[in-house]
Structures are given as C-alpha cells and as structure tokens.
Amino acid sequence: MVLKKYKWWGLAVILLLLVSAGGWWWLTSPHDAAGKDPAVASEIPLPTFTLSVSSENGMTEYLVLGMTVVVKGRAELPKGWLIKQNPEIKAAILSSLLNLSDIKKINNSALIRREVRSAVSMDMAHILPHGYQVVHVYITKLLVQ
C-alpha cells in the first residue's frame, strides 16, 4: 500500500533526475555552432610533371600530369611557403610517381588514379607545416602521348 501511494512521486523524482543530468551535460559539454568552421581551405597548384613510360608494345610514351592539392588549416598558408618548399614538393611527388608500378595505366584505371592521389596526399602531409592537413588531391591535367 505504501508503494502504490509513492509510485508516482518516485517516477517524477527519477524523471527530474534524468532531465537535470541531461541539462548539466548539455551546459558543460563543448559544442560547435552550426555552420561555423574555423578551418580555412587553401588550394596549392602543383607543378606539371612529365614522365616517360614504356608502353605495353615497347614504345616510349609521355605522361603529363597536373594536380591541385586542397589543404585545410587554421589560417592561410604563408605566402612564401610554396616558393620555399617547391623543390622538396617536386622531389617527393616525382619519387612517388616513379615508384608506382602501373603508372602507365593511369589513363584507363581509376584504381591507379586513386593510388596517385593517395601517394601525393601522403607526400604533401609530410611537407606541410604543423596544423595543416590534406583534404583532397585533384588531377587537373592527364595526357598520355
């Protein structure tokens, strides 16, 4: 009889505790404002690379590859950064491109293009200053002659 009498009061107290715990969590947890992203995206146009590759019939073909890397960070990249890092960027990316075994099939294979983008992304991640990350790599020019 005592339980029936205080059943609704007990339920109200439990519900009040749950609501106050949820309110406390909402007030103390950090949450971002909707649509506010403090990160700034920058595009880095990479130099055009020209590689000579041997085709399946033994002929030499030339691969012309142009790319743009999108980088995200708290601020724009410093203006002189790209000029200063240009030789290191060229060397790292050229080395990665030459290490890909099936680079000659880049024109026909989406898998090879994905490998190229992944390799360039990893190379750029090592070269970028602290606090910047590679968001995407776009292939802007692809010619096989």
Question: Domain residues for 110?
Answer: 40-144
On whether the CB atoms of residues 97 and 67 are closer than 8 A, the answer is no
Same domain, 16 and 87: no
pLDDT of residue 69: 93
Same domain, 20 and 75: no
Residue by residue, DSSP assigns 77-128 as PPTTHHHHHHHHHHHHHHHHHHH-TTGGGTTT-HHHHHHHHHHHHHHHHHHS
Cα angle for residues 51, 99, 134 (degrees, 5° grid): 90
pLDDT of residue 76: 86
Whole-angstrom Cα distance, residue 74 to residue 86? 22
Same domain, 67 and 91: yes
Global pTM value: 0.68
Whole-angstrom Cα distance, residue 84 to residue 130? 16
Three-state SS for 135? strand
Whole-angstrom Cα distance, residue 140 to residue 66? 5
Same domain, 77 and 122: yes
Same domain, 135 and 95: yes
pLDDT of residue 3: 63
Residues 6 or more apart whose CB falls under 8 angstroms from that of 74 comprise 38, 39, 40, 131
Amino acid at 139: I
Longest dimension (CA), the chain: 96
Domain count, the chain: 2
Tens digit of each residue's pLDDT, the chain (145 residues): 556 667 777 888 888 888 888 888 888 887 665 555 567 888 989 889 898 888 777 888 888 999 999 999 888 888 888 889 989 999 999 998 888 888 888 888 899 999 999 999 999 999 998 889 999 999 999 888 8
pLDDT of residue 101: 81
Tokens standing for residue 112: 């090879």
Whole-angstrom Cα distance, residue 3 to residue 13? 14
